[in-house]
Amino acid sequence: MVSTSVPQPQPETASAAVPASRMALVVVTSLFFMWGFLTCLNDILIPHLKATFSLNYAQSMLIQFTFFGAYFLMSLPAGKLVSRVGYKHSIIVGLAIAGLGALLFWPAAQLRVYELFLGALFVLATGITILQVAANPYMTLLGPERTASSRLNLAQAFNSLGTAIAPLFGGMLILTGAVLGAEQLAALSAPEQLAYQTQQAQSVQVPYIGLALALFALAVVVWLFRLPAIATDGGTATSLGVLRHSHVRLGVIAIFAYVGAEVAIGSFLVNYLSQPEIGAMTEQHATRYVSAYWTGAMVGRFIGAALLLRIDPGKLLAVFAGIVVVLLGITMTSDGMTAVYSIVAIGLFNSIMFPTIFTLGVAKLGVQTDNASSLLVMAIVGGALVPLAQGFLADRIGIQPAFVLPLLCYLYIMYYGLRGSRVRDVPAVR
């Protein structure tokens, strides 16, 4: 999953790190785990609601469109909130809003209205956006400056742990019972259809109510705990002039392509692996492979960190993207476990892409770095649009050939690593 940061510390506070207890680090690190968990749970929610409401692929991808659309719409308002009330209170507000979103799953399931589920997801994602905007820079300041990178990497590892556990949790508590296809559902009488859809819709109530309680409890813990107070400068303005730099402009497109492709693959995995000609497995069993997909990303993060000490980031990015292109080609032209293993292996090579593209996109910008960072954050909206586009494609040509869309995204990332990321002599942005 991806992480963002918009507000920047004041110069006088950035240079003077705030001493923090281990407990403070544990509390803030738990936030990274929580939003990774909640974000990845969408991969389980998609096949569940698709079956519950008899949706086509495009309609089911509105889940990711709604969720990641919140990043685009709410990241700058979240930055203004952090500037106004500070990191700690913004974290509390983010947890409370996310808890409210999870709580709204109860009436959505009770009324069996898909649009209400989407509304609940948008509220949930708004809370997560605030958490991301506040927690990332805050973590870097909780301790000595020389260990800031180490602290943030550790927190990101727990974020990956959340994405690895969520599919197993969702498989056990949400994807329960037999999932009926469209033809099987049509064969039932009207009362039987209503009973089935009611049971399926309400199976999300208990898990999300539990998550809401956990989020509210964490908000109380943060409120009661004496986290160090760190001021912000309120600087969240975005200057489009920085796009004159080609490595920034092309980097924005690369972030859009990467997040879109990563989310699209994860979103389709359960439905794809349960296809008779692919994995021929139950949706609940398929969640284990979704977990393996995200676990690969966590493992690859540690391997990639070591490789980046010896290999040029742009070249390594191009190599990893090229491997993913090959893996997608294999899964699109094969069946059975070959198709299964090839697509699950993509998670391992996704690992370094987001931070590497982000780093290359803000390279050698000096005081313009914040402006470029804000634009790269906005590009996370690719996670809303690419899965939706792939859903439309899958409805027309089938789920397996529809993976051509993320394949094209990774081809562009290869280009960005080899050529697009080069810093060229561009007139200074004013």
pLDDT digits (tens, 9 = 90+) for 243-290: 888 988 999 999 999 999 999 998 899 899 999 999 999 888 888 898
pLDDT of residue 13: 40
Residue 16 has pLDDT above 70, yes or no: no
Question: Do 221 and 256 reside in the same domain of the chain?
Answer: no
State how far the Cα of 113 lies from the Cα of 106, in Å rounded to an integer.
Answer: 11
CA dihedral 248, 249, 252, 253 (to 10 degrees): -140
- In a shared domain, residues 25 and 159: yes
Residues 316 and 279 in one domain: yes
Alpha-helix runs per DSSP H in 187-245: 190-202, 205-224
Instruction: Give the chain's domain count.
Output: 2
Q: Are residues 202 and 298 in the same domain?
A: no
Residue 234 lies in a domain: no
427 within some domain: no
Q: What is the spatial distance between Cα 97 and Cα 94, in angstroms, rounded to a whole number?
A: 5
Closest CA to 320 of 253, 262, 390: 262
Q: Let me know whether 225 and 257 are in one domain.
A: no
Query: In this structure, are 382 and 308 located in the same domain?
Result: yes
Q: How far apart are alpha carbons 219 and 223 in whole angstroms?
A: 6
97: in domain: yes
| Backbone angles phi and psi of 415, in degrees to 5 | -60, -45
Residue numbers of the domain that contains 185: 1-229
3-state secondary structure (DSSP) of residue 105: helix
CB 362 within 8 A of CB 369: yes
Are 183 and 262 found together in one domain? Answer: no
Q: What is the pLDDT of residue 6?
A: 45
Query: Quick one: residue 180, left, alpha or beta (phi over 0 = left, psi -120 to 50 = alpha)?
Result: beta
**Same domain assignment for residues 188 and 46:** yes
Collapsing DSSP states into helix, strand and coil, what is residue 373? helix
Shared domain for 245 and 322, answered yes or no, is: yes
Q: Which among 174, 209, 229 is the end of a domain?
A: 229
- Please identify which residue in the block is written with the tokens 């940061």: 5
Domain contains 55? yes
Do 191 and 323 belong together in one domain?
Answer: no
Q: What pLDDT shows up at residue 236?
A: 45
Distance between CA atoms of residues 46 and 68, nearest Å = 14
Is there a single domain that holds both residue 174 and residue 60?
yes
Mean pLDDT of the chain: 81
N-terminal to C-terminal alpha carbon distance within the chain: 33
- What percent of the chain lies above the pLDDT cut of 70? 79
Asked whether residue 429 is domain-assigned, the answer is no
Say which CATH number the domain at 341 has.
1.20.1250.20
The pLDDT assigned to 98 comes to 96
pLDDT value at residue 167 = 82
Q: Is residue 36 part of a domain?
A: yes
In the chain, what is the greatest distance between 2 CA atoms, to the nearest angstrom? 69
Q: Token pair of 31, please? A: 């936030």
Q: CA-CA distance, 407 to 73, in Å (whole number)?
A: 27
Residue ending a domain, choose from 199, 229, 259: 229
Q: How confident is the model at residue 7 (pLDDT cuts 50, 70, 90)?
A: very low
- Residue 380 in domain: yes
Based on the domain organization, do 214 and 277 belong to the same domain?
no
